[in-house]
Amino acid sequence: MKRFKSILFVLIGLILSCSEKKEEIVSTISTGAEDRAYCIKLMQKIVDPVLIPLSKQQLHQELPRKDWEVNNDKCDIRTTNIQAVGRTISGLSPWLSLGADDTEEGKLRAKYIDLSLTGLIHTTDPNSADYLFDKDTDTYERIVHGAYLAYPLLIAPKQLWEPLTPEQKENVIKALKSHRPFKPFDNNWLLFASVLEAAIWKFTGECEIERIEHGVNKHMEWYVGDGIYGDGPQFHWDYYNSYVIHPLLLEILKVCQEKNHPLKDLLPIELGRAKRYAEIQEHLISPEGTFPIIGRSAVYRIAAFQLLGYVAYRNELPSILDPGATRAALMAVTKRMMEAPGTFDENGWLNSGVVGKQINAKDVYIFTGSLYMCTMGLTHLGLPADDPFWTAPVGKWFQQKVWDGEDISSQHEYYGK
């Protein structure tokens, strides 16, 4: 009898413990407004170490050079600054595109519009201490790193292009054109050259159109199917369809549509493919908020989900994906990765790593500046606060439903060729 009572007390304790844990999980479910506030604070934490010194023309002094990158003899560490600037402003640009207003968030955006605009000016002004397009770093890598100044101009032209003076605009265009002496590799680099020329075309009316046509047409040849492009003639199992290929193709084709170029006919086809890949991305997020770490550039962290945030930002979220559930999935991944101990160093700079500090997880072309690609993982901040993405109640994403044994809809919705 005593043994029975002991077992009974243990069972009751377990039930109460499970109940408390369930209550704890429920209590941690956040609203869309809380999720947005979290993302904005995270964004500030990431970008301030880059933008604040840049606004004072001191980035060249403050951006760290760590042992693991100083000793890299395979790539040029002098590109770390331009990488930090371009990727930071690129990730910010969707949020900046909402413009300033009288709300607290709108006033905060005004601050970051000013910081980004000032950074863009200092980066491209030959008289600035933080000028990044000098002859010393004039190498073939300019194709890649210059593209991350072109991209935010296409995303937020009213905030980042229109306020510039004629002289400042001329400096920016000269910087974008500096890629032209170099030939991109026969892979996703073609799209970096294409997006540079697309920005030049949009803002000046002229461009080297063959670079746009070649980059787009080669990727059409490299389409594998089911929303996925090969990165060059061969397929690579990584997240470059999200980091680069789909977002850049869509922005390039939007310019082609504006200019009434025949490539515009590819825009709805590419949009269908991008939506399918976005659906796959949502399905890759486990019930615990993890995803498979596969392939190159894993230290870009949450940027792996740039496309999912991008299609939401462009109001093209696949109909099969619930906005509240998609937000919850992205939040789960973001918190899992960005809150890991060691993600930031003692001075607030990003450390190399996928989850925390993992120096050996980097690829040979990675420097501290490269890591700021992770800001692209906050692209969905470009949706206004009253969008359903932020106002819809939290829901279960696909893998949560599956592993909870819930009935689920078909996994595949057809969006295009």
Cβ atoms 354, 361 nearer than 8 A:
yes
Of the candidate CATH numbers 3.40.50.300, 3.40.50.720, 1.50.10.20, 3.40.50.2300, the domain formed by 32-400 belongs to 1.50.10.20
Average confidence (pLDDT) per 10 residues, the chain, 417 residues: 42 40 45 98 98 98 93 82 98 98 98 98 97 86 96 98 98 97 96 98 98 98 97 94 98 98 98 97 98 97 98 96 97 98 98 97 94 98 98 96 90 61
Question: So where are the chain's domains?
Answer: 32-400
Q: How far apart are CA 23 and CA 347, in angstroms?
A: 37
Please tell me the pTM assigned to this model: 0.92
Cβ atoms 255, 202 nearer than 8 A:
yes
- The 10s digit of each residue's pLDDT in 387-412 is 999 999 999 999 999 999 999 877 66
- The 10s digit of each residue's pLDDT in 199-236 is 999 999 999 999 999 999 999 999 999 999 999 998 99
- The 10s digit of each residue's pLDDT in 37-88 is 999 999 999 999 999 999 999 999 999 999 999 877 777 888 999 999 999 9
Residue length of the chain: 417
Q: How far apart are CA 218 and CA 222, in angstroms?
A: 6
